[in-house]
Amino acid sequence: MIRKIAVLGGITKSGVRETLRMVEIYPGEIVAVVGPTGSGKSQLISDIEYWADGDTPSRRQIQINDQVPAEFAVETSLRRLVAEISQNMNFVIDMSVRDFLLLHAESRHIENALEVAKAVVDCANQLTGEPLMMDDSLTALSGGQSRALMVADVALLSNAPIVLVDEIENAGINRLSALRLLAGRGKVVLVVTHDPLLALLADKRIVMQNGGMAKLLTASPSEKALAGRLQKIDAVLCELRERIRLGGELTPEAIKEVTWPDAQRVSA
Ligand SMILES: Nc1ncnc2c1ncn2[C@@H]1O[C@H](COP(=O)(O)OP(=O)(O)OP(=O)(O)O)[C@@H](O)[C@H]1O
Ligand SMILES: [Mg+2]
């Protein structure tokens, strides 16, 4: 069981000590990693994935439950630590959704495998606009369907306690629900993002600069309020996107039908 993950600070790209000496992350938290291109976001994610122990360019060390990698690496319960969902992932194995999920459930010694497989598909279908079926072939799934299935699979079937999400915003799945689903299962969710809404909804955000962890922020009350407003704007964009995706035309009547956020609250 993971109770705490600590990232112990190393050095920046200039070789000086990074500002944050330690960042602690707890199960159920969503942590956003933000920063400009080249600032070290992917390096931080990969340090966690590879249980860095002073042996990566950043010289960071990852500790789990106050244990150093050499100690927790031998604990079988912590061996399969990380599941990664990245934007360019697709299934390459040619089997049906059902067979894949049953196989995965079997490998995890899950008893009611078929029931769990059905739950995974139901869950995936809540994340994606185009429903997928048990009999669909994995390779025939769309990008958005594949990612939705991966998220549902990680949430319900995998025991990996840490989930690294790489830029989910364009992945064609309901990103907020996806992250909440993962965090709701008591997983640690780290998400690299440039999306203000995701960044503000996260419990913490790590600001990367020149390869180092420069700041640790929690959303302030004004940022939380802003996130609420952004969510309404986001809902409008999602609705328009969906209408356009389905081949709709945005006639004056259709535009009126869109549920615009309360004008006063937006300008407030
Ligand atoms: N602390 C560090 N010390 C030395 N090298 C580092 C450090 N952090 C990152 N780097 C290196 O700098 C390069 C850019 O970092 P990285 O790929 O993590 O940036 P990024 O923030 O993910 O950028 P992008 O937004 O373009 O994906 C990589 O080669 C990485 O290994
Ligand atoms: Mg990167």
Residue ID of nearest Cα to ligand 1 atom 18: 40
What's the pLDDT at 264? 47
Tally of structural domains, the chain:
3
Ligand 2 center to residue 218 CA distance, Å? 22
* Mean pLDDT over the full length of the chain: 87
- Alpha-carbon dihedral sign for residues 23, 25, 31, 37: positive
Asked if residue 5 lies in contact with residue 63, where contact means CB atoms within 8 angstroms, the answer is yes
Atom number in ligand 1 closest to CA 58: 1
Q: How much is the average pLDDT of 9-33?
A: 96
What's the pLDDT at 263? 56
For the stretch 187-210, pLDDT in tens is 889 999 888 888 998 999 999 999
% of the chain with per-residue pLDDT over 70:
92
Residue ID of nearest Cα to ligand 1 atom 26: 37
Ligand 2 center to residue 179 CA distance, Å? 19
* Ligand 1 within 6 A of CB of 58: yes
Residue ID of nearest Cα to ligand 1 atom 14: 38
Ligand 2 center to residue 84 CA distance, Å? 14
146 and 188 within one domain? no
73 and 3 within one domain? yes
75 and 164 within one domain? yes
224 and 207 within one domain? no
Residue 76, pLDDT > 50, answer yes
What's the pLDDT at 266? 46
What is the per-residue DSSP string for 99-140?
HHHHHHHHHTT-TTHHHHHHHHHHHHHHH-SS---TTSBGGG
CA atoms within 13 A on the CB side of 37: 0
Task: Give the confidence band of 232 by pLDDT, cuts at 50, 70, 90.
Answer: confident
Domain, as residue range, for 137: 92-153
Contacts 24+ apart (CB under 8 A), 106-110: 108/157, 108/158, 108/159, 110/157
193 and 169 within one domain? yes
Asked if residue 267 lies in contact with residue 232, where contact means CB atoms within 8 angstroms, the answer is no
127 and 19 within one domain? no
Least distant ligand from the CA of 41: 1
The residues whose Cβ lies within 5 A of ligand 2, an ion, are 42
| Structural tokens at position 246 | 């389905």
9 and 138 within one domain? no
pTM: 0.82
* Ligand 1 within 6 A of CB of 37: yes
5 and 72 within one domain? yes
